[in-house]
Amino acid sequence: SFTYAQESRYSFEQGMMGSPFKLVFYAKNDSVANIAAQSAFKRIEKLNELLSDYRDGSEINMLSAQSGSGKWVPVSDDLFNILAISQDISVKTDGAFDATLGPVVQMWRHATRKGIFPKESEIKEAMAKTGYTKMKLDPKSKKVFLSQKGMRLDIGGLGKGFAAEEAVKVLQTFGIKSIMMDAGGKIVLTSPPPGTEGWNITISNGSDSLKTMALSNVALATSGPTYRFMEYNGTRYSHIVDPKTGIGLLFHVRTTVISLDGTVADALATAFSVAGIAKSKKIIARFPDSKVWLVERQDERVAEWNTLE
């Protein structure tokens, strides 16, 4: 009989988009592994150049700068694709996910740095420049129209999931089949490691409960206030904003979503956090390929919803 060379496990880690990105995969030799990993990280860096809201010259910020000009602006395929997914998720989540929250997110970042709670008028003013229906997309020409001056796009709610998907595509062009790409808690998995049933992934609900599953060919995203939140007078506000109020979530929510696509999983984890359990139960009917584990905590009250197997 004929035996193929054994594949070895490789792992790489790099800080990207403000989070640790971890990459594990199986490949035939060191040189393939190193080139593939470098190419994947390069792809993410390229995406970050286009999509970062921290860089003035990023494509997304230059697009936002043209809001209210009355112009349809041509954009790259990458930017168009991520905005198209974003818009689709906004519609299907009744606006719980909204990539036009930039002005509000910026206002909160500024307020957090200064330690001053924004005035009601400031929140109102920022909110007036948001709303996903003010963004129009033309798939034929790959052009974007932002109807109101002062709009600012922010794809932070699904950018890492998108980056993870794109990195996996790059690795696959090198013939690599078993991949785990963890982009700051937004994970994309392909075939199981050789000789196993799947990738062993452990999910936590934020405190006591843990769940370990052998998963493959799915994506999984967790959203939670573990690292990033703002605190005013002892009250914690999540960096996830409720698009209806313009204020960070007060609930201590932790949401894990499993979907077939990493971008969708990331966006849904954010959206379900906003929508809460009752509304999310209706929303998930529009996403038959997705499962969720959502924990809401406020003071003594804990509510939990789990459709993971």
Which residues are documented as binding site for Mg(2+)? 157, 266, 270
Closest CA to 189 of 26, 79, 38: 26
Residue 75 or 183 with smaller CB distance to ligand ADP:
183
103 binds Mg ion (CB under 5 A): no
Integer Cα distance of 57 and 243 in angstroms: 26
Total residues interacting with Mg ion, rule: CB under 5 A: 6
Residue 269 or 292 with smaller CB distance to ligand ADP:
269
Closest CA to 115 of 217, 212, 231, 281: 231
Binding mask 137-156 for Mg ion (x = CB under 5 A): -------------------x
- Interacting residues with ligand ADP between 144 and 203 (CB under 6 A): 154, 156-157, 160, 185
270 binds Mg ion (CB under 5 A): yes
Strand partners, 257: 221, 292
Q: Which does 101 bind (CB under 5 to 8 A by kind): Mg ion, ligand ADP, none?
A: ligand ADP
Determine which residue in the list 52, 266, 291, 295 makes contact with Mg ion, applying CB under 5 A: 266
Integer Cα distance of 271 and 267 in angstroms: 6
105 binds ligand ADP (CB under 6 A): yes
Give φ, ψ of 195 to 5 degrees: 80, 10
Residue 156 or 246 with smaller CB distance to Mg ion:
156
240 binds ligand ADP (CB under 6 A): yes
Integer Cα distance of 50 and 166 in angstroms: 14
253, 273 contact by CB (below 8 A): yes
To Mg ion, the closest distance from the beta carbon of 239 in angstroms equals 7
230, 237 contact by CB (below 8 A): yes
Determine which residue in the list 215, 241, 253, 265 makes contact with ligand ADP, applying CB under 6 A: 241
157 binds Mg ion (CB under 5 A): yes
Q: Which does 284 bind (CB under 5 to 8 A by kind): ligand ADP, Mg ion, none?
A: none
220 binds ligand ADP (CB under 6 A): no
75 binds ligand ADP (CB under 6 A): no
97 binds ligand ADP (CB under 6 A): yes
Total residues interacting with ligand ADP, rule: CB under 6 A: 20
274 binds ligand ADP (CB under 6 A): yes
Point out which residues bind ligand ADP (CB under 6 A): 97-99, 101, 105, 154, 156-157, 160, 185, 223, 228, 239-241, 243, 266, 269-270, 274
Point out which residues bind Mg ion (CB under 5 A): 156-157, 223, 266, 269-270
